Structure 1
Amino acid sequence: MANMSEYRVLVTGANGFVGCALRAELQKRSLPFATAVRQKQAKTEYEEYAVGTLNGKTDWTHALLGCNTVIHLAARVHVMQEDAQDPLAAFREVNVISTLNLAHQAIAAGVRRFVYVSSVKVNGEESGQLPFTPFDSPAPGDPYGLSKWEAEQALCELAKKSDLELVIVRPPLVYGPGVRANFLRLLTFVKWGVPLPLGSVNNRRSMVALDNLVDLLILCTKHPAAAGQTFMVSDGADMSTTELLNLLAGAMGRRVCLVSVPTTLLKLAAAMIGKTAVADRLLCSLQVDISHTMLTLGWVPVIDVKEALNKTVRYFLRSIEAK
């Protein structure tokens, strides 16, 4: 493990969904850290630095001061309603050019380890019969996934030419208290008893709970065997969309209203209304194999999927009651 007297982490994207959970866990473990955000909050109990817009000219100097490790979460994330005229250029500006700029400045500042949070979308959109591994040939299927893969490649080349220890983590869908986007929609549909035509879905999906992802990221900052590795991460328990909905409903103490409709018809209907990507996330399989992660780091998920889903549902229900 790293010498803790020299341990200090910079967390970028610290106000995001994963970033908030990560900084909370670092505080809980009394691990020294600083955060980098685009806009500074009024008051924090930790060191926070505003770096502004993320591009090739972003100045990370003050945020990197005294840090020997970086966990890079800040990114232009996948968006369902894309409004950029050139999505790939927009993703590359933040996810590739800005990331490489940070890495160069990190090396100059004496940072030894750089933990890059990539995405399973580097592997592809659908795993098929076999789960994705970090050793598969990358096959990104959209601008977001491509930008993450290009960033990985650029970082690997930089690491080869320097003493920087690069660690890449590719998470699938991340969920937990405060989750938004499609997962929040599923929670809402189940809560209000909306009939869903997903009773016959027999896919397999990997997900990762916030607690599990955060625990792995912190381990990757310290474990000597993590250097130079790419890791897949999940809860280690895959399920179908139908099983997920039933678990969410059970956590709410209710039954989900599922209607059995052939997946071929669902895919056809989704294509007709321009929702193919949404349908794929609900109907297709996307599994990851975390055996390399577990064997290399001796890591196991710290929370099981049922407990993690229960935590997510409890937070969701409290947030509704608070409104």
Structure 2
Amino acid sequence: MRILITGASGFVGRNLKHLFEQEGVEIRTLSVREAGWQLDDTCDALVHLAGIEKDSGTVDSEEEYFKVNAYLTEEVFKAFLKSDIRDFIFISSIKAVVDSSDHIVTEQTPAKPVTPYGKSKLLAEELLSKISLPAGKRLFILRPCLIHGPGDTGNLKTLYKIAEKGIPYPFAAIENRRSYLAIDNLRSVIQQLIQNPDLSSSTFNVSDDEPISTASLVDLMYKTLHKSPRSLNIPAGLIKSITKVFSAVGLDLVEEKIGKLTSNLEVSNAKIKSALGIDKLPLSAEEGLIKTIKSFKK
């Protein structure tokens, strides 16, 4: 098996390349940032990761999200249609559907993205889905929730630093439910999709099998650090008041960060497991998180 990965220099791409190569899969990489790029026709599948990864605030305009995440994706897809590559796997995001939800998110959940990142990912999905596929080609759209693994510098790393310094986690009173995705599980899903020729093109949510509360996640970090958990049980009502104050004085980023820590986002992976004919993914949510946490220690 030979896989072509765009965006292989990013956190997800680097990890996928490493994990695939450990499984004996040959990986080719392609940068689509420069003019004149061409697809490698000898590959069996193309995993498209290239894009603006997060709502980081470093992008000059909303238009940049759509230019890179949507229209560049469409351009790569059209090149794929002219190539001899069989499978196109687009790594979208659960943010193309929702940022948070008090209901379990499935593939039938109406898409209501709220950020430029999420809206650009949804537009990319729509652009690809409206193009007719020739015989012998497949399109898989994957909507992962928060992906984690070695080298992660996002919210999990921030929480780890809090636990490492022994700072009490202030929102332990909120028992939310959030889904995560270990990079090992994402690699497994992609490989199984490619290896199963009987599967038809489709869109799948991808998450670990079990959700976990942020408070439990922090406790797991303390446990992995061999420290006693430290937390504060600030009432939920007070937390909402605090976030409103931050928002009122223009600190929307603080409100957003607190929201990510305390809101619900439970994602069902039932459809992808049914398609692959499996009962569970290789790593449980806890096993995957422990592996990531241990990588922070190194």
When the two structures are superposed, what TM-score results if normalisation uses the length of structure 2? 0.92
For residue 264 of structure 1, report the CA deviation from its aligned partner. Answer: 2.6
Q: Distance in 2 between matches of 1:244 and 1:101?
A: 39
Paired-residue identity, %: 28
Seen in structure 2, the aligned counterparts of structure 1 residues 137 and 190 have a Cα distance that, compared at 3 Å, is same
Given the superposition, is the C-alpha separation of residues 285 and 20 from structure 1 closer, same or farther in structure 2, using an over 3 Å criterion? same
Q: Is the 8 A contact 2:221 2:293 kept in 1?
A: yes
Per the TM alignment, residue 143 of structure 1 is displaced from its structure 2 partner at its CA by 0.7
Counterpart for residue 37 of structure 2: 60
Aligned AA for 1:219? Q
Q: In angstroms, what is the RMSD of aligned CA positions?
A: 1.6
Mapping of 1:130-145 within 5 angstroms? 130-145=103-118
Counterpart position of 1:43: none
Structure-2 residue corresponding to 1:285: 264
In structure 1, distance between residues paired with 2:208 and 2:58: 33
Q: Is the 8 A contact 2:169 2:218 kept in 1?
A: no
Q: Deviations over 1:168-197 (max 9, x none)?
A: 111111112221121111000001011221
Structure 1 residue 225: Cα displacement = 4.5
CA distance in 2, matches of 1:309, 1:117: 21
Of 162, 167, 173, 1:200 maps to 173
Amino acid at match of 1:208: L
Equivalent residues, number:
290
| CA shift in 2, pair 1:120/1:315, >3 Å | same
CA distance in 1, matches of 2:14, 2:224: 24
- Are 1:313 and 2:286 counterparts? no
Code of the aligned partner of 1:187: Y
Question: 1:33 aligned to 2:27?
Answer: yes
C-alpha separation between the residues in 2 aligned to 1:225 and 1:76?
32
2:237 and 2:197 map into 1 onto residues whose CA distance is: 47
Work out whether residues 125 and 141 of structure 2, in 8 Å CA contact, stay in contact via their aligned partners in 1: yes
Match of 1:108 in 2: 82
2-side partners of 1:284 and 1:22: how far apart?
Answer: 28
Decide whether aligned partners of structure 1 residues 84 and 312 sit closer, same or farther in structure 2, where only a CA change above 3 A counts.
closer
1:252 alignment partner in structure 2: 225
Q: Which has the higher contact order (CA 8 A, sep 6+)?
A: 2
Secondary structure at the aligned position of 2:130 is classed as helix
User: Aligned partners of 1:221 and 1:202: how far apart in 2?
Assistant: 38
CA contact (8 A) 1:116 1:169 kept: yes
Structure 1 residue 215 displacement after superposition? 1.0
Q: Relative to structure 2, which stretch is displaced further, 249-258 or 183-192?
A: 249-258
Q: Distance in 2 between matches of 1:314 and 1:86?
A: 37
Q: Work out the CA distance in 2 between the residues paired with 1:30 and 1:264.
A: 52
Query: Does the aligned pair in 2 maintain the 1:60–1:102 contact within 8 Å?
Result: no
Please list the CA deviations of residues 118-155 of structure 1 after superposition, one character each: whole Å capped at 9, or x if unmatched.
10111211121x21111222111111001000000111
8 Å contact kept, 1:267–1:276:
no
In structure 2, what is the Cα distance between the partners aligned to 1:147 and 1:76?
Answer: 10
Q: 1 CA distance for matches of 2:167 and 2:141?
A: 39
Residue 162, structure 1, aligned to residue 147, structure 2:
no
Deviation of 1:24 (Å): 1.4
Contact 1:170 1:232 survives alignment (8 Å) = yes
After TM superposition, give the deviation of residue 85 of structure 1 in Å: 4.1
CA separation in 2, counterparts of 1:83 and 1:209? Answer: 26
Give the Cα–Cα distance (whole angstroms) in 2 for the partners of residues 121 and 18 of structure 1.
16
**What is the alpha-carbon distance in structure 1 between the residues aligned to residue 99 and residue 271 of structure 2?**
21
In the superposition, the TM-score normalised over structure 1's length comes to 0.85
Equivalent residue runs for 1:29-108 within 5 Å: 29-37=23-31, 51-53=32-34, 58-61=35-38, 63-80=39-56, 82-87=57-62, 89-108=63-82
Shift of residue 83, structure 1, vs aligned partner: 3.8
Q: Is the 8 A contact 2:15 2:150 kept in 1?
A: no
Give 5+ residue unaligned stretches, structure 1. Answer: 1-6, 38-50, 319-323
